[in-house]
Amino acid sequence: MENNRNFFITIALSVLILVLWQVFYMNPRVEAQRETARIEAERVAAEQKAAQPAQPGGATDPAVPPQGAVPGIPGTDGTSEANREKALASGQRVRIDTPSLTGSINLTGARLDDLRLNDYRLTVEPGSPTIELLNPQALPTGYFAEVGFVGSAATGAVPGPDTVWAVEGNQTLTPTTPVTLAWTNDKGLTFKRTISVDNDYMFTISDTVTNSGTAEVSLANYGRVTRFDKPLHAAAYVLHEGLIGVTGEEGLQEIGYSTIEEDKQVSPGKSTDGWLGITDKYWAVALVPSAKQPFQPRFAYFPDGRPRYQSDFLTDAITIAPGQSATVETMVFAGAKEVAQINAYEKDRQIRQFELLIDWGWFYFITKPMFWLIDNLYKLLGNFGLAIIATTVVVKAVFFPLANKSYKSMANMKKVQPKMLEIREKYADDKMKQQQAMMELYKTEKINPIAGCWPVLIQIPVFFALYKVLYITIEMRHAPFFGWIQDLAAPDPTSLFNLFGLLSFDPSTVPVFGPFLMLGVWPIIMGITMFLQMRMNPTPPDPTQAMIFNWMPLMFTFMLASFPAGLVIYWAWNNFLSILQQGVIMKRQGAKIELWDNLAGLFKRKPTPAE
């Protein structure tokens, strides 16, 4: 039957999905497990080392760093403090209290090194701790943002990583009450720093330098985001995590942790606008230098002492005459990568391509509209799961004319099957004439033999766009559906192999095969709908084809079991709508629906050769 051609095309597309799934999902998953073990071993080693007393004579940076270089970081001699509360109590601090953020500013270096995200928790459990985005340097998970100056012998000491600032007035930073810090050196330079924050995740650091001396001075402004550890789970190939920035003519730069470990430093050309920092899957810390001064961006890895990753910038020197002042402003983003908020910062604060902080991927022209549609349907329906279901209906409606034409062609193929069998029998020994006769039949009956694969072709880009949206957007994180699905971005937590929770056995703990044993309710529903959809067409006469035909739904069921639940719900609902659509069209075209006959045929006893 000519439907077999369509079947083989569908098989090829399915194999393509399997290959892409292996490359983009399973390989990163295995790599993530290996990376997790390695990072955990390093973490344990760091904690053990931190428990030992610090050795005297640790290396420190000079009070006045070399001119033209971002200063080093004191206290990176390999020792660390394992207790967060103890690390926070080791110095003076100014409290941060906003609707979105809680934490404190370390007055030593005026660092942002203690920050929690009020609206996000580690797990879906109500009592789960909030996300710790920034941590003091002393911790193995040290992660901070810092802004300072680089001077020379003429300027004397300038604010850097070990400068202890004094607080003037207000002791708590809120969206309505900025904090002012001050520091004066022995050369007559007075530094006043005003730190403000909005209701969300953007800090503004405004430094005013007053020259009370008798000589002209020059100094440069620097900023850095420094991190001592990597994410516990390695990023998949569909997502960038690591050092990132948009500066100069180079535009977007994405440098992974392993890449910077090999290259040690990457220095793009000078820039007059842009941003740079370090990004995770859902969170990021980024610096936005002042547009008044050109700056040199840099991405670096320092393996000495305590290895660390750093994105930093250094502006051109600012000259201040005696009795004069100069002001430099730096913005620091530290928070969740919420799509609407990131876009608002780009527009309102004129930050070049700040939207690229979210990794929309090469197919952003599909991924972004997909998110826009789901997000707006969510605002209407109040549930992201319902929004995904509604999105499936919208996609079906958009491509209805093409799918309708495809199913009509498939129905016509069924009606002319007797003629196709006659041609095959007539030209059984002459494949060339057989093919010519088939083409003539297609032309006469106005049939497109490959039309049946269009529904699958349409589904592939939508499938991957939805996968990308579910994987990268924080809006989908911990988004519940109904019943047991409390996180659409995570796999279905139930499993057939522990009777959906009736047994205490956890299938995910099985080595190697664990992910495949998490066969939840929704993957099973998806497998059933896929099986029924395939049974709408006749079973191929060839035994090998028939075997593939029978086993493919089961294979996809196990494959999609480890995918985000939202994606599986989409696929199951899409299959159901396709069954209805194909059934209605075939009935209108007068073609026989093979579903029930095919299902009944599965239970018929196959005749033996003797019979």
**DSSP character at residue 356:** G
Q: What is the pLDDT of residue 598?
A: 62
Query: Which of 70-74, 334-338, 448-452, 535-539 holds the top average pLDDT?
Result: 334-338
227 has which bridge partners?
A: 143, 309
* DSSP per-residue string spanning 576-600: HHHHHHHHHHHHHTTPPP-HHHHHH
Contact 210, 325 (CB under 8 A): yes
Q: State pLDDT tens for residues 112-135.
A: 999 999 999 998 888 899 999 999
Confidence check: pLDDT of 179 > 70: yes
Indicate the pTM of the whole model.
0.79
The residue with tokens 């010519």 is 436
Q: Bigger pLDDT: 424 or 79?
A: 424
Q: State pLDDT tens for residues 74-103.
A: 877 766 667 888 889 888 999 999 999 999
Q: What is the pLDDT of residue 54?
A: 38
SS3 (DSSP) at 352: coil
Least confident piece of the model among 242-246, 278-282, 606-610: 606-610
Contact 548, 10 (CB under 8 A): no
Confidence check: pLDDT of 300 > 80: yes
Q: State pLDDT tens for residues 558-571.
A: 888 888 899 899 88
Average pLDDT, integer, range 497-522: 78
Q: Residue 5's closest CA among 430, 439, 408?
A: 439
Average pLDDT, integer, range 574-591: 80
Q: How confident is the model at residue 66 (pLDDT cuts 50, 70, 90)?
A: very low
Confidence check: pLDDT of 284 > 50: yes
d(CA 425, CA 458): 35
Helix (H) or strand (E) holding 328: strand 325-336
d(CA 407, CA 419): 20
Q: Residue 544's closest CA among 8, 10, 2?
A: 8
Contact 546, 539 (CB under 8 A): yes
Contact 183, 159 (CB under 8 A): yes
Report all structural domains of the chain as residue ranges with CATH numbers, in order of start.
3-27+367-602 (no CATH), 53-359 (2.70.98.90)
Angle between helices 521-534 and 565-588 (to 10 degrees): 20
Q: How confident is the model at residue 543 (pLDDT cuts 50, 70, 90)?
A: low
Q: Bigger pLDDT: 366 or 443?
A: 366
Average pLDDT, integer, range 206-216: 92
Is beta strand 318-320 parallel, antiparallel or unpaired with respect to 179-184?
A: unpaired
327 has which bridge partners?
A: 208
* Helices vs strands, H then E, count in the chain: 16, 20
247 has which bridge partners?
A: 251, 274
Q: What is the pLDDT of residue 499?
A: 80
Query: How many residues are present in the chain?
Result: 611
d(CA 38, CA 17): 30
Q: Bigger pLDDT: 510 or 44?
A: 510
- Tokens for 30, please give them: 């295995």
Q: State pLDDT tens for residues 29-41.
A: 444 444 444 444 4
Contact 283, 242 (CB under 8 A): no
